[in-house]
Amino acid sequence: TESVMERAQELEITMDEVVTLASVIQREARISEDFTKISAVFHNRLKKQMTLGSCATVQFLINEDRWVLTEEEMKIDSPYNTYVHEGLPVGPIASPGRLALVSAVNPYEEFMDSNKPYLYFVLKDPKTGEHEFNTDYDQHLKDKAKYEDRWSD
C-alpha cells in the first residue's frame, strides 16, 4: 500500500527489504499482538549489526516446521540463515500477509528505546503462540530454559 511504501522510504529500506523482513515476521509471529514487537526486535538487531537469529529462516532451509532445531542446523552456511549471516536473508522465506507488511515498517515503539532496546524473544507456548521479549541476553537464556520443554509437546 501507499502507506507502507512511504514508511519504507522514511526508514530508508527498499520494498524488497520490507517484503523479506515481513516474511520472517510472518513465520515467527503467532498472534497479532506480537507482529510489531517481533518487528521491533529485528529492527533493533539490524541497527546493532547483530544477526537476526531467526529460527524461521532455518526452518525454511531444512523445509521443516518444528520448534526445536539442532546446533548443526543452526550453523548451515546459507545466505538465508540468519544465525550465520548478519542482516536480512537474501530473499523472502514466506508470503507475508498485510499485518506482517505493515508491522515490518511500523515496529513497536516501546521496544525501540536506544538505551535499552528489546533484542530477544522466545516462544512461550506453541499452543497459545505467545512470546516472551527481553532486553537482556541472560534473561533471554533463562526464559528459553523455562519454556523450551513446552516445544516438544
107-121 in b/e form (b: 16+ CB < 10 A) is bbeebbeeeebbbbb
Q: What percent of the chain has pLDDT over 90?
A: 87
The Cβ-side half-sphere exposure at 68, using a 13 Å CA radius, reads 8
Beta partners for 104? none
Average pLDDT, the chain: 94
Q: Where does residue 91 fall: left (phi above 0), alpha (psi -120 to 50 degrees), or beta otherwise?
A: beta
- pTM, two decimals, is 0.94
To 5 degrees, how large is the angle CA 64–CA 70–CA 73? 65
Backbone angles phi, psi at 131, to 5 degrees: -115, 155
Give the pLDDT band (50/70/90) at residue 153.
low
- Backbone dihedral region for residue 54 (phi beyond 0: left; psi -120 to 50: alpha; all else: beta): beta
CA angle 118, 93, 140 (to 5 degrees): 25
pLDDT digits (tens, 9 = 90+) for 80-133: 999 999 999 999 999 999 999 999 999 999 999 999 999 999 999 888 999 999
